[in-house]
Structure 1
Amino acid sequence: FWDQKEDWIFTDREFTFTDTKKGTVTKGIGMDFDKKFSTVKAHKTTGILSIEDKDE
């Protein structure tokens, strides 16, 4: 669905989101995001994420 007033896209269906920059694939049910994909909110998710350990 598209919310023109807020420039926001959302779905309650299954999805697969591939982030080629981070090399991750996330699957889930339900997500919403802005039209530029700069803010993404995934609802119910599964997948494997790489987390970089940074020494402080």
Structure 2
Amino acid sequence: MFKKFLKDESGAQVVEYALIIAVVSIALVIALQMLGSGAPFTNFINRVGVCLNGPGPCV
């Protein structure tokens, strides 16, 4: 009975997918925090807004 339990791998795929989702979620949270809290990113968004809204220096 114990050997049968050790050989049963039916739940292994669910655990693997859960771990992958957790790692990807953590990476996304870290990336979004880094992008959202910085002057370079804010400056980039402002420049894109100026270029899209009309004539102006799009450098």
State whether TM-score is above 0.5: no
Band of TM-score, shorter chain: under 0.3
Rg comparison, structure with higher value: 2
TM-score, structure 2 normalization: 0.17
